[in-house]
Structure 1
Amino acid sequence: MRQSVFYFVCVIWSIGSCYAQKMSDERANTPIPFTLADRDRLIELSIAVKELDKRMTDQFNMIQKQFEYQQKQFEYQQKQLEYQQKQLDEQRTEIHWVIGLIITLMGLVIGLITYIIWDRKTIIKPLERKMERQMTESRQERNKLQQLIRALQELSKTDERVAAVLKQFNLL
């Protein structure tokens, strides 16, 4: 049943479209009257289309100029950014040089301090030895001097002149 209804609808639809085609063919063959009013309307329409075309061309040119201006602004800003990037790179290079110099100077100062400490130790040791030798020599001379004073004190017991000289220098 469904199929028969479907076939029936398809047949009616085909007949309707054939009839519509026949009607449109008849209308296409009938001449359409062209009046002066139609001619005037066509002229007005042509003028309106030309004006619209001119306005669209002007609008397009204006948009094109704005686009070119924005493109120039973009290029200028891009050049500005490149220039700033170049400056930052130069500053970064200068900072690296300064940091390198500071590290080098710190290394030199540390090396100098190390050398001074090492040199001080190497210089002090010979001086300490020399001072110890001089102190032992000085002790030996003091001992000899004390022995000489004792001998003179013993001699002063028998000789009055030696006793007077020793008293004068508070050695008696």
Structure 2
Amino acid sequence: MARLNFIVIMILLLLGQCVWAEEVPYTLEDRDRLIRVEAKIEDIDKRFEQIDKRFEQVERRIERLENVMIWGFGLLFTTMIGLLGFVLWDRRTALSPAIRKNKELEERNDKIVKALKEYAYKEPKLAEILRNVGLM
């Protein structure tokens, strides 16, 4: 039995060495295939470079649009604030003469009413008219 085990082990060891000694040849077909693969990889690299250039162009366009929008909104808000300031200024300058004129008319009206009341003490007909109107 030991002898049978020894023979089996020797056969296995000898077969294993034969398998290790075999060399894989590099054929012309393998070389051509490698050249085609390298060419395809170069084409893919060129396409990636083109895509990168397109992305850069799109990014530049987006940046320009952002700048235009920022300037546009800034101009819009500046115009709105300027218009609001103009409206407030115009309101004050337009109302002040009207307020002044209204005060003058009220003072004049008060003077006329006072003069009529004083004259009504001397004239009973005028006093009666002023009572009917509600000024006395």
When normalised by structure 1's length, the TM-score is 0.56
Structure 1 window deviating more from structure 2 (70-79 vs 139-148): it is 139-148
- The reply on whether 1:169 has 2:132 as its aligned counterpart is yes
Indicate the residue corresponding to 1:60 in structure 2: 31
The amino acid of 1:91's aligned partner reads I
Alpha-carbon distance change, 95 to 118 in structure 1, aligned in 2, over 3 angstroms: same
Indicate the residue corresponding to 1:80 in structure 2: 51
SS in 1 for 2:123: helix
Select the residue among 100, 119, 127 that pairs with 2:71: 100
The amino acid of 1:133's aligned partner reads E
Select the residue among 124, 137, 141 that pairs with 2:112: 141
Off by >4 Å, runs of 4+ in structure 1: none
Alpha-carbon distance change, 97 to 70 in structure 1, aligned in 2, over 3 angstroms: same
- The reply on whether 1:130 has 2:105 as its aligned counterpart is no
The amino acid of 1:64's aligned partner reads I
The amino acid of 2:79's aligned partner reads L
Deviations 1:98-139 (A, max 9, x none): 110000011111111111111122112211211111111111
When normalised by structure 2's length, the TM-score is 0.69
- The reply on whether 1:109 has 2:67 as its aligned counterpart is no
Q: How far apart in 1 are the matches of 2:132 and 2:78?
A: 62
The answer for unaligned runs of 5 or more in structure 2 is 1-24
Q: How far apart in 2 are the matches of 1:141 and 1:104?
A: 55
The amino acid of 2:48's aligned partner reads Q
RMSD of aligned alpha carbons: 2.6
The answer for unaligned runs of 5 or more in structure 1 is 1-51, 154-161
Q: How far apart in 2 are the matches of 1:78 and 1:66?
A: 18
Q: How far apart in 2 are the matches of 1:73 and 1:106?
A: 49
Q: How far apart in 2 are the matches of 1:170 and 1:97?
A: 69
Alpha-carbon distance change, 141 to 170 in structure 1, aligned in 2, over 3 angstroms: closer
